[in-house]
Structure 1
Amino acid sequence: MLLHRFSVRKSFCIVATCMGLPIVSCAQLELKNLPEYSLPLTNQKLVIAHNMTGIIRYKGHELEDSANPKYYKPTGNISAPLGGLTQVNVMADSLLSNATLDEAVEFEMRAALRSGIDGFQFYYILGLKSWDDIIKAYFRVADKKNIPFKFTFCISHPDGRTEADKIEEFAQRINGIMDEVGHDNPHWLRTPDGRLIVYMWNGEGLADIPKDKKELPDAYYIARAYKRLADKVNERFACVFSINEQISKSKLNSYLDYFPATWIWTLAYNKDYIGSMVADACLARGRTFTGSVFGDFYTSKLLRKGTWNMYHRVDEAVADGIKKVERRYVVTGLSYNFRKLLEFGISRDVPIINIITWNDYPEGHHLAPEVNHNYGFSVLLNHYKNVWKQKSTVPKDIAITFFKKYQHKVKPDPFNIPVVQFEPGAVPEKFEDSIDVVTLLPSPATLKVNGQEKPVSAGLQSSKFPSKPGAVEVSVVRDGKQTLHFITPEWITDRPYRTDRLTYVYSSEDATYHKDIFCDVPAVQSTEYNKQAKQ
């Protein structure tokens, strides 16, 4: 039926040309509002995480400088003049330092599955052919070990050069991967009718948009470029275009004319959240709205002041010094943004929830195990995933605590690196001057945090407590009996030595998740301001 309709469209174009009708109509008919744009994107609900392809640890392949734990400590390394380049300490770094690539990708998949993730969309850019071997390894190991995981590409900011050159490079590389793993490999993320789901992240740059656009929108030329790429790799694409900024309804509709689905990048959930307008438009147009969530956004990577130009090498950042650098930040409100975006996606019954991200440690929105985020976001994701799939149960008491290591008006000393809020936050920044404890309970109980008590109901509830220097002690009591208790390894301080706005997360489930993922390898903990740990 689709082939027949396309043939009719093509025939109409030929007739229209002979009759002297405007060619613009023919161009639009070839790509605009195709019936396949309204077909289902999936036949099951999936959680797909954005994966930074090159940020993976194995023998001979260290994490990039802005995620490398050897630059985490404030002393004893080249980044000491900055108080430490990174503020993330990736748990798998030491574990996988002698691992093969195949062992490393197996770890990533199994850790992601335990965290509630069903597949990766790989950050895919021009000029880094070496990443193709990493992607091939994921397929190879998933096949060999029968790991139920899905994969696809996320074509990302393909800027520079001509459209033809960019398509040629992407096509050669994608064909190389597909020739090796097979077009029919069951691990590809496909629509029920067989199209390859391809994500875009600032992917508009693939297209050459002429000065004389012949009254056609940019979206047409972008869709045409992706159709040309799909043809070169002998595939049909279902492109999921990204929304990275506040856009008008008219611009959104121009994209929905030419694409079947969309996802939103790191726009926080607030009163102006664009998701409602986008989801409504998708529903009205028969397009697929996919949900997106992120729990944190604070750049451990250093940027040249006033730009998004990242220091890829630690020595360059050190050479410029603190006065020429900055970090960037979105106020996510501890657990608030993560919970509300998940709840929004569930309320819209989305077919895919996109996790931003699995392993972008430099931008601080990672879900993968790391000593600041630990496993709390994963515990929440698994809970909401059960709700989304109508498997909601709370079999036991769970508590997850979220806090910043210091209140937002406190000035770090001596390493006070400026932090720039570059997008509207989910809540005012002062909201984060608290301890946020999310409880998941089968029945009502009493929550105690640092000696202060609050009644909490069954199910999920977020409770706020004052942020004050010292340890954070959490317990749940029911009928006079303590059902859970923990003290966070990290403390809150009023004397931070460096800028650090990452959210610290710790839960009563951390030990269980850690054992499931790392077996008997001891957990690495953040104890920067834990005075007892220093003694």
Structure 2
Amino acid sequence: MPFKALRVNISLLPGIFLLLLNCSTGFAQDSLKNLPEYSLPLTSKKLVIAHCMTNIIRFKGHPFEDVCNPDYYPPTGNISAPIGGMNQVKPMEDSLLANATLDETVEFEMRAAIRSGIDGFQFYYVLGATDWDNIIKAYFRVADQKHINFKFTFCISHPKGRTEAIKVAEFARRINGIMDEVGHNNSHWLRTPDGRLIVYQWLGEPLADIPQDKKGLPDAYYVARAYKHLADAVHEKFACLFTINEEIDRKKLNEFLDYFPATWIWTLPYGGKDYLGYMVADECRKRHRTFTGSVFNDFYTSKTQHKGTWDMFRSVNEAVAAGIDKMDRKYITCGLSYNFRKLWEFNIANNVPITNVITWNDYPEGHHLAPEINHNEGFSILLNYYKSKWQGVPSPYADRDVAVVFFKKYKHDVKPSPYNIPVVPFQKEVIPPSWEDSIEVVSLLKSPAQVVVNGHKANAVAGFSVNKFQMQNGPVDVSVSRNNSTTLHFKTPEGITGKPYRADRITYTFSSEFDNFYNNLYPGFKPQYSHEYNPQFTAK
């Protein structure tokens, strides 16, 4: 090839030299910092989006994984008997959906979630789980066919190991497979008003290769670059929410806010003025970034872990072989309904555009809203009430009296026997465990009335009230009376005990809405009950 002379405008030489210098030092690569789109709105209306454990559903040929399989709930009659039953959660849908198709199951999940006040799912999405993609496609398919108004997106979760290029390639191949089938323009995708796909991260930083010599750039730059590579590979623009899963200082937070439009906080409980959300929300306001609020109702891992670690026993056989002395369960003190209520009130005060529910169906970690015999509908009623306040619409319960009771099955300092698997707080306890040594009733009343629990009375105002009562062994009897007339009455199927046979710190809820809430939820659905410490209970 003959040589051709290169003509250069001499006036451009300083700029060209500076560009070459910047490229050599790596600073010119930083084309992702403080992009204008980071300040654009994330939503056009307020939405409740729940973290959904993609694979934790029940349909024919697809049982629940061991760590939430109802077969291992009873303390006897199954292979987990030597540890007093592996699980302390029992999803109601197990028997209903044992012979269901995948499409029937995802329809159930969406309809149940909508009844709990949820507008969409962000799917827990990990490397290697290629069979989960068919589940996600089924959600889109059924939402389209049944005209169910529900939103979906991905939550890229702890993508550890291998190189960034390999990880991005796998995620891109799978996401493209889903999008090619359901359509990029499908109305069920969770998108910003300007069309970006909202994508969540849960400990999502390991997607990036972070070099030893970072060329003066923060880790957040390399993380943002990795997600830009993924977005390009799926022919999308992302609006990524980075996760805050532990205490973070302003410097590190602002490094992420340089490169991301929004954030969300995982299971950090509300600790009054020291709650991390205050600082994060404040910085987001200053930086014109989107702070999305989070709520979680409970945290008691029914799953068992190798003692002192987060290394979970993934099978019942593995757990039983290890034995009680070599395992523990993790716990966050949530103060019955206190943490859930205060996080909601914080979100309302900060006028967040999205409230993230942790979680829809992570039964193993005990922060689920999906139908289960301990949580029942209590937290869903609170969610629907607070959602109406947040969105500025009438309460769905404005036309009647409602009472919801919350309690633990035994006091926090009682030692279960003989199956006392250690329950270990894994964060600084900002809510005193003693707060859970009571019976708590949340009432939503048409006018002032008396709340009566086991014969003990307390006054409640019109609208929203919280009253606490002394713990008393046996089932809990709740009523509301006004002008010497009882307007509602129920007795809980479950009871309180002074002699628990196994460690079990999950919060139990029940309400006057139980029958209404589960009535006609899905054809053939019949709610189940927990009554370990109320042997006299019989279902209606």
Which residue, 314, 329, 332 being the options, matches 2:331? 329
Worse overlay, 383-392 or 31-40: 383-392
Answering whether residue 319 of structure 2 is matched by residue 317 of structure 1, we say yes
Deviation digits for residues 159-193 of structure 1, max 9, x if unmatched? 00001110010000000000000000000000000
Q: Give the Cα separation in 2 of the matches to 1:525 and 1:518.
A: 17
Matching residue's letter, 1:164: A
Matching residue's letter, 1:306: G
Answering whether residue 146 of structure 2 is matched by residue 141 of structure 1, we say no
Tell me which residue corresponds to 1:31. Answer: 32
Tell me which residue corresponds to 2:462. Answer: 458
Q: Give the Cα separation in 1 of the matches to 2:401 and 2:250.
A: 44
What's the secondary structure of 1:123's corresponding residue? strand
TM-superposed CA distance for 1:15, in Å, is 4.4
Distance 1:338-1:508 versus aligned 2 partners, 3 A rule: same
Deviation digits for residues 44-103 of structure 1, max 9, x if unmatched? 110000000000000000011011000000001000001000000100000000000000
Q: Give the Cα separation in 1 of the matches to 2:357 and 2:345.
A: 14
**Contact 1:87/1:500, CA 8 A, preserved across alignment:** yes
Distance 1:279-1:466 versus aligned 2 partners, 3 A rule: same
Q: Give the Cα separation in 2 of the matches to 1:103 and 1:505.
A: 27
What's the secondary structure of 2:263's corresponding residue? strand
Matching residue's letter, 1:233: V
Worse overlay, 520-529 or 155-164: 520-529
Tell me which residue corresponds to 2:305. Answer: 303
Q: Give the Cα separation in 1 of the matches to 2:246 and 2:25.
A: 29
Distance 1:515-1:69 versus aligned 2 partners, 3 A rule: same
Tell me which residue corresponds to 2:484. Answer: 480
Matching residue's letter, 1:226: Y
Deviation digits for residues 279-332 of structure 1, max 9, x if unmatched? 000000000000100000000000000100111110000000000000000000
**Contact 2:207/2:226, CA 8 A, preserved across alignment:** yes
Counting only pairs closer than 5 Å after superposition, residues 118-129 of structure 1 correspond to structure 2 as 118-129=119-130
TM-superposed CA distance for 1:23, in Å, is 5.4
TM-superposed CA distance for 1:22, in Å, is 6.6
Distance 1:12-1:285 versus aligned 2 partners, 3 A rule: farther
Tell me which residue corresponds to 2:441. Answer: 437
What value does the CA root-mean-square deviation take over the aligned residues? 1.7
Tell me which residue corresponds to 1:52. Answer: 53
TM-score normalized by structure 2? 0.95
Which residue, 403, 412, 416 being the options, matches 1:412? 416
Distance 1:16-1:112 versus aligned 2 partners, 3 A rule: farther
Q: Give the Cα separation in 2 of the matches to 1:72 and 1:251.
A: 43
TM-superposed CA distance for 1:426, in Å, is 4.4
Worse overlay, 511-520 or 350-359: 511-520
Counting only pairs closer than 5 Å after superposition, residues 444-523 of structure 1 correspond to structure 2 as 444-519=448-523, 521-523=525-527
Worse overlay, 509-518 or 21-30: 21-30
What's the secondary structure of 1:246's corresponding residue? coil
Tell me which residue corresponds to 1:247. Answer: 248
Deviation digits for residues 352-407 of structure 1, max 9, x if unmatched? 00000000000000000000000011011000010011113322110000000000
Distance 1:35-1:499 versus aligned 2 partners, 3 A rule: same
Tell me which residue corresponds to 1:115. Answer: 116
Worse overlay, 160-169 or 387-396: 387-396
Matching residue's letter, 2:489: H
Q: Give the Cα separation in 1 of the matches to 2:257 and 2:14.
A: 22
Q: Give the Cα separation in 2 of the matches to 1:15 and 1:437.
A: 70
Q: Give the Cα separation in 1 of the matches to 2:430 and 2:199.
A: 29
Tell me which residue corresponds to 1:162. Answer: 163
Counting only pairs closer than 5 Å after superposition, residues 285-434 of structure 1 correspond to structure 2 as 285-393=287-395, 394-434=398-438
TM-superposed CA distance for 1:424, in Å, is 2.6
Distance 1:296-1:18 versus aligned 2 partners, 3 A rule: closer
Matching residue's letter, 1:244: N
Distance 1:304-1:15 versus aligned 2 partners, 3 A rule: same
Answering whether residue 261 of structure 2 is matched by residue 279 of structure 1, we say no
Q: Give the Cα separation in 2 of the matches to 1:463 and 1:324.
A: 40
Q: Bigger radius of gyration, 1 or 2?
A: 2
Tell me which residue corresponds to 2:4. Answer: none
What's the secondary structure of 2:31's corresponding residue? helix
Answering whether residue 532 of structure 2 is matched by residue 528 of structure 1, we say yes
Distance 1:383-1:12 versus aligned 2 partners, 3 A rule: farther
Tell me which residue corresponds to 2:6. Answer: none
Q: Give the Cα separation in 2 of the matches to 1:242 and 1:517.
A: 33
Q: Give the Cα separation in 2 of the matches to 1:354 and 1:35.
A: 25
Tell me which residue corresponds to 1:231. Answer: 232
TM-superposed CA distance for 1:425, in Å, is 3.5
Distance 1:27-1:19 versus aligned 2 partners, 3 A rule: closer
Tell me which residue corresponds to 1:259. Answer: 260
**Contact 1:475/1:485, CA 8 A, preserved across alignment:** yes
Worse overlay, 516-525 or 313-322: 516-525
Matching residue's letter, 1:283: R
Answering whether residue 187 of structure 2 is matched by residue 186 of structure 1, we say yes
TM-superposed CA distance for 1:532, in Å, is 1.4
Distance 1:532-1:146 versus aligned 2 partners, 3 A rule: same
Q: Give the Cα separation in 1 of the matches to 2:509 and 2:24.
A: 58
Deviation digits for residues 201-244 of structure 1, max 9, x if unmatched? 00000001000000100000000000000000000000000000
Q: Give the Cα separation in 2 of the matches to 1:228 and 1:482.
A: 63
Matching residue's letter, 2:381: V
What's the secondary structure of 2:528's corresponding residue? coil
Q: Give the Cα separation in 2 of the matches to 1:457 and 1:201.
A: 40
What's the secondary structure of 1:180's corresponding residue? helix
Matching residue's letter, 1:309: D
Q: Give the Cα separation in 2 of the matches to 1:12 and 1:250.
A: 37
Tell me which residue corresponds to 1:8. Answer: none
**Contact 1:58/1:98, CA 8 A, preserved across alignment:** yes
Q: Give the Cα separation in 2 of the matches to 1:480 and 1:497.
A: 40
Question: Which runs of 5 or more residues in structure 2 are unaligned?
Answer: 1-11
Q: Give the Cα separation in 1 of the matches to 2:21 and 2:330.
A: 55
TM-score normalized by structure 1? 0.96
**Contact 2:70/2:91, CA 8 A, preserved across alignment:** yes
Q: Give the Cα separation in 2 of the matches to 1:409 and 1:126.
A: 41
TM-superposed CA distance for 1:20, in Å, is 3.1
Q: Give the Cα separation in 2 of the matches to 1:76 and 1:165.
A: 46
**Contact 2:30/2:221, CA 8 A, preserved across alignment:** no
Work out the number of aligned pairs and report it.
525
Matching residue's letter, 1:438: V
What's the secondary structure of 1:290's corresponding residue? strand
Q: Give the Cα separation in 2 of the matches to 1:274 and 1:451.
A: 40
